[in-house]
Chain A
């Protein structure tokens, strides 16, 4: 092999190895920085809902953050999944070919909007607009724990309910675009076969497109979930931190997610010992998104073979 070739191969392979090692490095550095704070922690890190990072008396646990993170992300997923499915089917099966491309572009535009703008819009425009609806749901169905009065002020703006809906809008594009790609690959003979048997358009979708794209759609949804779990600034703006209040499973709770907590209290990072608590929380968020993304990618990769 010529020397130029050798150098070039080493360079490119090195870049590949570097990217592979990045994930490990992220985990390693976060872990090392989190250990001193974890040793100084006076409550159980995994089960406590308290978050107190006074350097002399560290009491912090992730349970509260974990519950709000997962709860708001699941709500977003439940809202976004059917809508994304609808859009993906619309773009692949219903929209005229000439319109499908621009429409797909419009949906992709949603992904290009910076998340801080989603946050500001969510709090200042969207939350007041759905406030009457939230209030009505809260008043009418308060006997269901899901809709009971929450732990934040009664104007019901900075709630998990609002945050979940805004999150749903934010993860729509990723679920839609990936599902669309999968649905597009449905073998034409399957579709034509179903049509030849006299199936209606919906029956064609139900019998060919959906079974073919199911795994891809589920993988795409999990990627959306991963995105929602890690969303930072939009939630830091929308969610009202409910300091010292326990999580109650009400959608009208406030609270903080891993990411929004770190973003909201970024000033705490200036103190080395309190910083460790936030890094520990970041490490848990990293592992959580890692697992979700890992499963999502495995599902999608399996389908691709």
Chain B
């Protein structure tokens, strides 16, 4: 996908790409680097022109009014977290290793990411400690499903969240290139958003061989 809009400068982009490559590493299967999750986040931070893909995949919604203002506020906040977070990460790396993050080896990069992982606010640390279940880099909730509260995340959790999003969200958002993320986890997803939108995407092939529920083999009740 051709990415027109970008936010990062070259160094910021290289740093985020390297960090994302440790969050979802490349091993015997592709990782964040091959799936181009950095393109995903760079496009997200570029402004509010790529927030919502049109559901048939033909473009992006142009936001207006209160929604546009809310998204501008959210993107501005994320931008500031990335700019400050990258700078702080480099500061710590220089202090520890006398080199910027991008110049460290993978082991050192992992070590520095672990260091910023727990260095959030006191509230975040307490929540981390007290909460038994945590979404992948997501909101600190004991729940198995919950809406995402990006505004509450620190830089590291935001980075993890955006890496996962960029790896697994529809390729129209700039990541999950060639559906590599879906291939890695084994999701035979739709060819495109248009397939879902048109109702051509159907998952019945992945249901049980016996489509009739146990105990119901004697057909639907005849009371009707």
Physical interaction between A and B: no
**Partner-B contacts on A (CB < 8 A):** none
**Partner-A contacts on B (CB < 8 A):** none
